[in-house]
Amino acid sequence: MSGEHKSLGHIRLTSHSGGVDAPPIHWGAPTAAERGPVIGTTGVRAHRNVIGTHSGSYSVYRALAVAAGALARDHRADLTNTSPTDHIGPYPQWGDPKAIVSLDPWGATVAESFPDKIAAGYDIRPTIAVTKAHVILPEIAEAIEKGRLVPDGKLLLPSGAALVTKAAVEPVWHLPGVAERFGCSEAELRRVLFEETGGMYPELVTRSDLEVFLPPIGGQTVYVFGDARDLADPTVELTARVHDECNGSDVFGSDICTCRPYLTHAIEECIRGTQRGGVGLVAYSRKEGRALGEVTKFLVYNARKRQEGGDTADQYFARTECVAGVQDMRFQELMPDVLHWFGITKIHRLVSMSNMKYDAITGSGIEVGERVNIPDELVPADARVEIDAKMAAGYFTPGPVPDAEALRKVKGRGLE
Ligand SMILES: [Zn+2]
């Protein structure tokens, strides 16, 4: 984020503390001690310095567990041996209040960042966890079988397992920064969040001194191939994909879109890039069905398949807009934050055709080299409608952009 460090002046040092004993949060301060801990516990209300509670959408399940008598309200997590497996940061972006507005950069290291406060009885919880995994995908096994990938015994085992570091990230929103990203006032953002959640968090409108909100939404998971520290080194080739959740394709193999084949292609590219001496990253955001949700998505599928003339690429966006009111609610404005958390300044190979993702990433100050499209042979027949409509709407393609006449001819399967 070269040139943006001047924005440190944005910190509101006059913030009041939340409860009587709540430490203040100075968002974007350069050290954890100056920034202060994020405290979303419901155990000691006077310690709270945020709106909302931990665990994103799972906060509701926590409430159910308390209601059912299965969970003690005052349960405190025993965090023995839970610290990150990899050392990440701090990076200069962590001290830039505009570079990161939707996650807590110190969220993985609360134990080492705030030992005195924890010893004094504050319930400070991690909002980021970092661990190791072996990932085994049939597409990667097939790539080995066909000779596109060669196991090296370190990153890729002969069994087909790829060794990764992965991080789970919960949303932590600095409301002034989020409002700025979306081009609205903080007051307006607070009022609309309050109203459109049915009045779920009154503090949004009654406590303007609390600037941090833990929203009840899904977070992100990041898979890193190679050494996570290399992500911050612009001289190390970085292959990256930012992927939005699509349960139907990602998990169940539904063939109406390109989500899983593009995801597994990205993983293959990440492994190959890392074997060349680079590093790879896949960031997976819980934004099902363009953040419209799966019910809306399935309604759109039916509307597409049943419309007069059948499912054609020229009506692809129109059908979504008829049902949802918008074409897309993923709004990539907050997505680059996780890249800045890893200290990324350059992506050499971006495995995405989305112009919205590209614009958000480059607009946030990260340089992007090559853009890698999904190979044609990986596009399922019924997904041609989607990918052609997207290319016509501005998605990156190295080939010809389909015109209106071509879009009318691209047709998907019927419902029966
Ligand atoms: Zn999909």
Read off the pLDDT band of 13 (50, 70, 90). very low
In what side-by-side order are the strands of the sheet with 51-52? Answer: 51-52, 212-214, 173-174
Q: Considering the candidates 330, 337, 349, 371, report the single residue annotated as catalytic.
A: 330
pLDDT tens digits, residue range 327-350? 888 889 999 999 999 999 999 999
Residue 133 CA, ligand 1 centroid: distance in Å? 25
Q: How far is the CA of 291 from the centre of ligand 1 (A)?
A: 12
Q: Which residue has the tokens 């610290």?
A: 83
Q: Which residue has the higher pLDDT, 152 or 331?
A: 152
**Residue 260, pLDDT score:** 97
Residue from 8, 71, 14, 77 nearest 40 by CA = 77
3-state class (DSSP) for residue 262: helix
Q: Report the pLDDT value the prediction gives residue 18, as an integer from 0 to 100.
A: 55
pLDDT in tens, 76-135: 999 999 999 999 999 999 999 999 999 999 999 999 999 999 999 999 999 999 999 999
Instruction: Assess contact for 413 and 254: CB atoms under 8 A.
Output: no
Quick one: tokens of 89? 């940061």
pLDDT at 230 over 90: yes
Interval between CA 266 and ligand 1 midpoint (Å): 15
What's the chain's Rg over C-alpha atoms? Answer: 22
* Percent of the chain at pLDDT exceeding 90: 90
Q: In 58-214, where does DSSP find H-type helix?
A: 59-67, 110-113, 115-119, 138-145, 175-181, 186-196, 203-206
Question: 292, 329 in Cβ contact below 8 A?
Answer: yes
- Residue 290: active-site member: no
Q: 82 C-alpha vs ligand 1 centroid, how far in Å? A: 34
Give which of 169, 167, 174 is closest to 29, Cα–Cα.
174
Q: How much distance in Å is there from the Cα of 174 to the middle of ligand 1?
A: 30
pTM, full prediction: 0.93
Specify the 3-state DSSP secondary structure of 85.
Answer: coil
Catalytic residue among 104, 314, 328, 388: 328
User: Taking 50 as the threshold, does the pLDDT of residue 183 lie above it?
Assistant: yes
Cα 253 to middle of ligand 1, angstroms: 9
Distance CA 127, CA 132 (A): 17
How many whole angstroms from 388 Cα to the centroid of ligand 1?
A: 14
Ligand 1 centre and the CA of 182: distance in Å? 25
214 phi, psi to nearest 5 deg:
-100, 95
pLDDT (average), residues 350-378:
97
Q: What is the pLDDT of residues 173-182, one digit of tens each?
A: 999 999 999 9
Cα of 354 vs centre of ligand 1, distance in Å, is: 13
Looking at residue 192, its pLDDT comes to 97
Q: What is the mean pLDDT of the chain?
A: 93
- Specify whether the CB–CB gap between 312 and 413 falls below 8 A: no
> Any residues with CB less than 8 A from the CB of 204 and at least 6 apart, and which?
51, 190, 191, 193, 194, 213
Average pLDDT over residues 42-53: 93
For the stretch 232-288, pLDDT in tens is 999 999 999 999 999 999 999 999 999 999 999 999 999 999 999 999 999 999 999
Across the range 383-406, mean pLDDT stands at 93
pLDDT attached to residue 9: 43
Determine the distance separating the centroid of ligand 1 and the alpha carbon of 290, expressed in angstroms. 9
Question: What burial letters (b/e) apply to 57-79, b meaning 16+ CB within 10 Å?
Answer: ebbeebeeeeeeeeeeeeeeeee
Contacts 24+ apart (CB under 8 A), 304-307: 304/385, 304/412, 305/412, 305/413, 305/414, 305/415, 306/415
- SS in 3 state form for 6-58? HHHHHCCCCCCCCCCCCCCCCCCCCCHHHHCCCCCCCCCHHHCCCEECCCHHH
| Contact (CB, 8 A) for 342 and 382 | no
> Is 328 one of the annotated active-site residues of the chain?
yes
